[in-house]
């Protein structure tokens, strides 16, 4: 199984200049190839393939005014053409939207190097046309004996550099467990488990909301194109980055724990994209990042031999009594506890939903009806 390990690295000024040049060339080639493919289809009804754009790239390097494309690694430029081809395939198969142009300062700068464009010796990585090895902070070791087959270097809006190293690794599955759990996503509690446990919502964005608002106000006062505006934009990006880092760390720990402790995990197939259209709840729903939690659960389940079942989003898990199966007509969001008229059981809204999600997931997993496929 191929697995990527991501690390922070600190380039020298010379390496940073070369990386900046590489990022700019990658962005230029991607945008120009996208424009050529777009024009060929809408004006000539002709489909341009990756091979066609690779031939175009050779000509672009010889054109007056774009000779600087030859100053960076050709592998990184070829890989961005492959990424564009993948974007088109995902669009044709209705997995993604139509490819869009990359804009400096709006998209993350990145470049991908294959094994013939970098060297890995004595725990050090040197990229093609780079002066010396990268100074990588090895926060965790690579698998024993693993050799990188591909590396991707990137620079985010905070000016931080990361390298993602792709290696072939054998992941040992976890021992089979008899535990099964239903997971109900919420706002007050990030998730409620059918075992009765509630995981509090850290609300990372709320903790930095005042600081973020102040930084955004300062940004709005700066003149466009000025150095002060660039510095203010960097301060906003750093606050957003800290929020995202804390959120990601918490979701990784939570998802790893759920997968480690349970053989089967049942979740709801939530339409988060539609739910955030509610202006009153959009901020807290986005901060909870339910979609990211589901993504982590699914790929970690594939790694460790676990199963994730997603039940239909229209299943009335909150309005169904988990004891007798009675269904109430309405249950507003502000009602956090209710009493079943059929059997008299008193339910906590979220815990009752988690138990119903588990029961429905186990039932439909047995017959296959109503199970949503993994998004991956």
What does the pLDDT look like over 295-307, one tens digit per residue?
999 999 999 999 9
CA distance 314 to 135: 51
pLDDT of residue 373: 47
Catalytic annotation present for 52 = no
Which stretches of the chain score pLDDT less than 70?
A: 365-376
116 HSE (CA, 13 A, CB side): 5
Q: Which residues have C-beta within 8 Å of that of residue 181, sequence separation ≥ 6?
A: 193, 194, 195, 258, 261, 262, 264, 265, 266, 358
pLDDT of residue 333: 85
Catalytic annotation present for 329 = no
Catalytic annotation present for 350 = yes
Q: Are the C-beta atoms of 137 and 8 separated by less than 8 Å?
A: yes
Report the DSSP beta bridge partners of residue 189: 200
Q: Are the C-beta atoms of 184 and 290 separated by less than 8 Å?
A: no
pLDDT of residue 369: 53
pLDDT of residue 267: 94
Instruction: Give the start-to-end residue ranges of the domains of the chain.
Output: 2-168, 180-367
pLDDT of residue 122: 87
Q: Is 266 helix (H, G, I), strand (E, B) or coil?
A: strand
pLDDT of residue 146: 83
Report the DSSP beta bridge partners of residue 161: 9, 155
> Which residue matches tokens 């446990």?
197
Catalytic residue among 269, 287, 298, 350: 350
The total number of residues shown for the chain amounts to 376
- Token pair belonging to 341: 């008229």
Q: Are the C-beta atoms of 26 and 80 separated by less than 8 Å?
A: yes
Q: Are the C-beta atoms of 22 and 73 separated by less than 8 Å?
A: yes
- Token pair belonging to 305: 């031999």
- Within the chain, residue ranges assigned H as helices are 13-44, 50-62, 74-92, 204-207, 209-221, 227-261, 272-275, 282-288, 290-304, 349-367
Per-residue pLDDT of 211-269, as tens digits, reads: 999 999 999 999 998 999 999 999 999 999 999 999 999 999 999 999 999 999 999 99
Query: What are the E-state strand segments in 61-157?
Result: 109-114, 118-121, 124-127, 136-137, 150-155
Catalytic residue among 184, 269, 287, 298: 184
Q: Which of 360, 374, 179, 354 is nearest to 260 (CA)?
A: 179
pLDDT of residue 144: 86
- Within 45-138, residue ranges assigned H as helices are 50-62, 74-92
Catalytic residue among 109, 205, 268, 298: 268
Q: Estimate to the nearest angstrom the gap between the alpha carbon of 317 and the chain centroid.
A: 28
pLDDT of residue 63: 92
CA distance 354 to 348: 10
């Amino acid at each position: 199984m191929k697995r990527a390990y991501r690390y922070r690295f600190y380039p020298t000024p010379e390496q940073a200049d070369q990386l900046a040049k590489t990022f700019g060339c990658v962005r230029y080639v991607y945008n120009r190839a996208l424009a050529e493919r777009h024009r060929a289809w809408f004006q000539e009804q002709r489909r341009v393939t990756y091979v066609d754009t690779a031939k175009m790239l050779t000509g672009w390097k010889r054109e007056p005014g774009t000779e600087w494309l030859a100053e960076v690694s050709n592998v990184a430029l070829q890989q961005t053409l492959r990424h564009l081809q993948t974007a088109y395939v995902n669009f044709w198969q209705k997995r993604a939207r139509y490819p869009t142009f990359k804009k400096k300062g709006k998209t993350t700068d990145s470049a991908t190097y294959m094994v013939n464009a970098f060297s890995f010796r004595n725990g050090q990585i040197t990229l093609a046309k780079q002066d010396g090895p990268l100074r990588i902070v090895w926060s965790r070791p690579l698998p024993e004996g693993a050799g990188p087959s591909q590396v991707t270097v990137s620079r985010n809006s905070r000016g931080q550099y990361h390298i993602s190293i792709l290696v072939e690794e054998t992941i040992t599955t976890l021992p089979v467990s008899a535990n099964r759990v239903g997971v109900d996503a919420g706002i007050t509690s990030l998730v409620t488990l059918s075992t009765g446990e509630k995981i509090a919502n850290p609300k990372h964005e709320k903790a930095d909301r005042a600081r973020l608002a102040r930084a955004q106000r300062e940004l709005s006062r700066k003149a466009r194109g000025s150095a002060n505006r660039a510095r203010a934009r960097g301060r906003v990006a750093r606050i957003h980055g800290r929020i995202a880092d804390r959120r990601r760390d918490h979701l990784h720990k939570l998802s790893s724990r759920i997968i480690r402790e349970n053989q089967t995990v049942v979740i709801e197939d939530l339409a988060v994209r539609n739910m955030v259209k509610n202006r009153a709840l959009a901020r807290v729903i986005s901060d909870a990042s339910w979609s990211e939690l589901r993504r982590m659960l699914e790929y970690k389940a594939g790694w460790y031999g676990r199963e994730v079942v997603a039940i239909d989003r229209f299943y009335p898990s909150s309005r169904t009594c988990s004891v007798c199966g009675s269904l109430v007509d309405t249950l507003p969001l502000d009602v956090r506890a209710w009493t079943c008229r059929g059997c008299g059981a008193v339910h906590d809204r979220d815990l009752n939903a988690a138990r119903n999600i588990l029961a429905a997931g186990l039932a439909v997993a047995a017959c296959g009806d109503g199970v949503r496929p993994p998004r991956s």
